[in-house]
Homo-oligomer: A and B are copies of this chain.
Amino acid sequence: MAAHEVGSRGAQTRAAILRAARERFAAQGYERTTIRAVAADADIDPSMVMRYFGNKEKLFDEALAVDLRLPDLGAVPESELPQALVRHFVERWEGDPSDDALLVLLRSAVTNERAAQRMRETFAGQVAPALAAALGPERAARVAGLVAAQLLGLGLARYLLRLPGVVSLSADAVVAGLTPAVRATLAESG
């Protein structure tokens, strides 16, 4: 066995730690998540977490990396843009809410300024450009904030707060209910 083989136990251990950390951060936020608990979830010793990630903050930083995987919205007709946006986020969250980096980020960003900064960067770097490809930079700049507020508000109410009136809806009903709202916001931008 070579010393640096791909998929070595070290790399697997590191991935297992990161996976456990994402789940803990997503479920409890930064402060309540302890390195000890992450280590227990990953079935390793707490000192291993320190060895692989240095400290709790650096582990947090890696757990916050989010790729929204937005499609090319420039290829979507504007009439279908609202539904495409809402559906993308709903499907993304519906997949595995407990292990989604976006939910980690959302939950953490509310009480942690570092995570809030990452959230701002994520939207500035991924949502705003995707909207600009569909609407042009001027219109996108005017509506990106309010559209983000609506999409994040959905995630907040359905997956974090679990408001009954939102949880009780099917995924399709959520898409159907929120699409007209996003459409109205986009229409405002002329």
Cβ of A182: which chain B residues have Cβ within 8 Å of it? 181
Complex CA–CA separation, A180 to B187 (angstroms)? 9
CB pair B111 A111 closer than 8 Å: yes
- State whether the Cβ of A31 lies closer than 8 Å to any Cβ in chain B: yes
Q: Which of A53-61, A64-72, A162-170 contacts B (4 or more CB under 8 A)?
A: A162-170
CB pair A157 B161 closer than 8 Å: no
- State whether the Cβ of A134 lies closer than 8 Å to any Cβ in chain B: no
Complex CA–CA separation, A185 to B180 (angstroms)? 7
CB pair B180 A184 closer than 8 Å: yes
Cβ of A177: which chain B residues have Cβ within 8 Å of it? 143, 146, 185, 188
Cβ of A187: which chain B residues have Cβ within 8 Å of it? 180
- State whether the Cβ of A116 lies closer than 8 Å to any Cβ in chain B: yes
- Tell me the count of chain A residues lying within 8 A, CB to CB, of chain B: 52
Within 8 A of B (CB), among A94-114: 106-107, 109-111
The number of times this chain is found in the oligomer is: 2
Residue on B nearest A124 in the bound complex, by CB: B164
CB pair B32 A111 closer than 8 Å: yes
CB pair B145 A149 closer than 8 Å: no
A141 to chain B, nearest CB (A): 7
- State whether the Cβ of A84 lies closer than 8 Å to any Cβ in chain B: no
Task: Report A108-146 CB contacts with B as 1/0, cut-off 8 Å.
Answer: 011100001001100110001000000000000101111
Cβ of A156: which chain B residues have Cβ within 8 Å of it? 110, 149, 152-153, 156
Cβ of A110: which chain B residues have Cβ within 8 Å of it? 29, 106-107, 110-111, 156, 160-161
Interface residues of A (CB under 8 A from B): 28-29, 31-32, 106-107, 109-111, 116, 119-120, 123-124, 128, 141, 143-146, 148-154, 156-158, 160-169, 174, 176-178, 180-185, 187-188
